């Protein structure tokens, strides 16, 4: 199992920022961290910090104060570095927006396979069309030339676009924020052309992570505790009062009216909606405070079943973007590797059973009785139609010879 993550770091040129990222990788057991907007020096460099390897690529930007903006890279732990060295320590970089590496893995059966990792930073939505076209061509070139021999590819990207949900080709799943913008339609077309699928939108969020799920769990718990209808209503009302006390910032007034109760319920509902958005949103607009999902982890369509976990982390670091991560099974024997879609479960074999309640229906009962009466009759017919075989006795030939001798003897008293 390999845990990879993606994060728009908004600058890791300081050692403090690198130490924060490394500490979180050690705490969360992350093997590979794909970085966007590193803002480090130009060219492709390989540095070692606390036994972690930083592979960075960037080019000069004319509008940046220090000459460098953008920048993409990877942060590898010691185990991932060995996998990278086993694959030949190769890397591919283009225009300060795309960097790709390959990792080699040896399975339990001794089979060696390689898979490609790509970290990409897409242009903003209001960038010129030529810049978007250049990014799309560079990404396709990374797939065609560098990672074409790999078993599957994983893209950690800050797309600067909302992809929405439920795409027609199945690349985007049904979970997530439904908002989609013009840059999202462009990115959807690029993902479809390459043959990638989003991981987080295909994975349902845990009920414990969102308040809506927590409320459903409380409702099931209330039903399970039992009691009369009035008891359940009183218990549920007490639970909602506790929920509002937890969600609302203002204290409950001493004298409550219908208006104050309505305002308090609306405030709790807004907090709940924000918490449900937190399960998928990775960036909030600094002025409007609207939720967006620009960060994604994409994987080849043939390897989507290898994803066992895909989540949005609560880790911000020194950035205004949240970190996202997923767990990938590298062994071919994993049960999910044989599934085309994530989250599918192996169907059990259908169990046949006798439904005796159907005998109450007159037509079913008559057909059942006819079948029961027909079966012994067919058995008797089969027995009677068979030829009769005389049982063989070991001394039967002696009796036959004696009867012949008796017929050959002359009658007594003749002549």
pLDDT at residue number 402: 47
pLDDT at residue number 207: 55
Please indicate, yes or no, whether residues 95 and 243 belong to a single structural domain of this protein: no
Please indicate, yes or no, whether residues 225 and 157 belong to a single structural domain of this protein: no
What's the whole-number mean pLDDT along residues 238-247? 69
pLDDT at 347 over 60: no
pLDDT at residue number 218: 76
Q: Per the domain annotation, does 375 fall within a domain? A: no
Q: Which of 338, 360, 387 is the last residue of a domain?
A: 338
Domain span including residue 334 = 2-205+279-338
Q: Which of 243, 272, 301 is the last residue of a domain?
A: 272
Q: If pLDDT is split at 50, 70 and 90, which confidence band does 12 have?
A: confident
Q: What is the pLDDT of residues 44-103, one digit of tens each?
A: 888 888 889 898 888 876 555 555 678 888 999 999 999 998 888 888 888 888 999 889
pLDDT at residue number 233: 84
Please indicate, yes or no, whether residues 290 and 263 belong to a single structural domain of this protein: no
Please indicate, yes or no, whether residues 163 and 106 belong to a single structural domain of this protein: yes
What's the whole-number mean pLDDT along residues 286-301? 87
Please indicate, yes or no, whether residues 61 and 154 belong to a single structural domain of this protein: yes
pLDDT at 380 over 50: yes
Query: How many domains are contained in the chain?
Result: 2
pLDDT at 327 over 50: yes
What's the whole-number mean pLDDT along residues 182-191? 88
pLDDT at 138 over 60: yes
Please indicate, yes or no, whether residues 192 and 295 belong to a single structural domain of this protein: yes
Please indicate, yes or no, whether residues 188 and 150 belong to a single structural domain of this protein: yes
In this predicted structure, which of 55-69, 215-229, 361-375, 382-396 has the lowest mean pLDDT?
382-396
> Angle of helix 211-225 relative to helix 258-278, nearest 10 degrees?
110
368 vs 252: CA distance, rounded Å: 68
Q: If pLDDT is split at 50, 70 and 90, which confidence band does 119 have?
A: very high
Q: Per the domain annotation, does 199 fall within a domain? A: yes
Cβ neighbours of residue 283 closer than 8 Å, sequence gap 6 or more: 8, 291, 292, 293, 294, 295, 320, 321, 322
pLDDT at 24 over 50: yes
- End-to-end Cα, the chain, rounded Å: 115
Q: Per the domain annotation, does 72 fall within a domain? A: yes
Q: Per the domain annotation, does 105 fall within a domain? A: yes
**Phi, psi dihedrals of residue 120, rounded to the nearest 5°:** -135, 150
What's the whole-number mean pLDDT along residues 195-199? 88
Name the more confident of 397 and 129: 129
CATH classification of the domain holding 13: 3.60.10.10
Please indicate, yes or no, whether residues 288 and 139 belong to a single structural domain of this protein: yes
Regarding beta strands 91-94 and 72-76, do their DSSP bridges make them parallel or antiparallel, or are they unpaired? unpaired
Please indicate, yes or no, whether residues 126 and 257 belong to a single structural domain of this protein: no
293 vs 313: CA distance, rounded Å: 13
User: Are residues 295 and 4 in contact, defined by beta-carbon separation less than 8 angstroms?
Assistant: no
Please indicate, yes or no, whether residues 251 and 139 belong to a single structural domain of this protein: no
Q: Which of 293, 323, 338 is the last residue of a domain?
A: 338
Q: Per the domain annotation, does 289 fall within a domain? A: yes
**pLDDT averaged over every residue in the chain:** 77
Q: If pLDDT is split at 50, 70 and 90, which confidence band does 384 have?
A: low
Q: If pLDDT is split at 50, 70 and 90, which confidence band does 342 have?
A: very low
> pTM for the complete prediction?
0.68
Helix, strand, or coil here: 325? strand
Please indicate, yes or no, whether residues 154 and 255 belong to a single structural domain of this protein: no
User: Are residues 22 and 51 in contact, defined by beta-carbon separation less than 8 angstroms?
Assistant: no
Please indicate, yes or no, whether residues 40 and 19 belong to a single structural domain of this protein: yes
pLDDT at residue number 120: 92
Q: If pLDDT is split at 50, 70 and 90, which confidence band does 336 have?
A: very low
Q: Which residue has the tokens 């057991």?
A: 29
Q: Per the domain annotation, does 17 fall within a domain? A: yes
CB atoms within 10 A of CB 28: 14
């Amino acid at each position: 199992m390999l845990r990879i993550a993606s994060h728009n770091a908004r600058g890791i040129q300081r050692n403090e920022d690198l130490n924060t990222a490394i500490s979180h990788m050690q705490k969360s057991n992350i093997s590979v961290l794909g970085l966007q907007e590193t803002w480090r020096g130009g060219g492709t460099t390989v540095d070692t910090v606390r036994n972690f390897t930083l592979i960075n690529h960037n080019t000069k930007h004319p509008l940046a104060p220090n000459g460098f903006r953008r920048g993409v890279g990877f942060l590898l732990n010691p185990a991932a570095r060995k996998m990278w060295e086993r694959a030949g320590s190769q890397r591919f970089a283009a225009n300060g927006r795309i960097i790709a590496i390959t990792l080699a893995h040896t399975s339990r059966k001794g089979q060696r396979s390689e898979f490609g990792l790509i970290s990409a930073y897409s242009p903003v939505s209001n960038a010129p069309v030529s810049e978007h076209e250049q990014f799309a061509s560079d990404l396709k070139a990374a797939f065609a030339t560098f990672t074409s021999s790999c078993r599957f590819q994983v893209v950690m990207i800050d797309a600067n676009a909302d992809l929405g949900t439920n795409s027609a080709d199945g690349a985007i799943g049904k979970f997530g924020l439904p908002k989609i913008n013009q840059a999202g339609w462009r990115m959807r077309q690029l993902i479809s052309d390459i043959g990638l699928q989003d991981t987080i939108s295909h994975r349902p969020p845990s009920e414990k992570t969102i308040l809506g799920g927590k409320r459903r769990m409380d409702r099931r718990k209330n039903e399970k505790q039992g009691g009369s209808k009035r008891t359940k209503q009183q218990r549920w009302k007490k639970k909602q009062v506790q929920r509002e006390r937890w969600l609302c910032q203002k204290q409950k007034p001493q004298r409550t009216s219908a208006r104050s109760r309505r305002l308090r319920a609306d405030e709790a509902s807004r907090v709940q909606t924000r918490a449900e958005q937190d399960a998928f949103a990775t960036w909030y607009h600094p002025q409007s405070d609207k939720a967006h999902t620009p960060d994604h982890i994409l994987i080849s369509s043939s390897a989507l079943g290898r994803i066992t976990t895909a989540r949005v982390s609560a880790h911000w670091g020194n950035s205004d973007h949240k970190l996202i991560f997923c767990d990938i099974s590298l062994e071919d024997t994993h049960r999910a590797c044989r599934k085309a879609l994530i989250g599918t479960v192996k169907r059990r074999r259908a169990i046949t059973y006798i439904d005796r309640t159907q005998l109450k229906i007159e037509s079913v009962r008559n057909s059942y009785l006819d079948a029961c009466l027909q079966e012994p009759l067919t058995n008797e017919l089969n027995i009677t139609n068979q030829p009769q075989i005389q049982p063989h006795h070991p001394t039967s030939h002696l009796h036959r010879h004696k009867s012949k001798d008796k017929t050959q003897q002359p009658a007594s008293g003749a002549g």
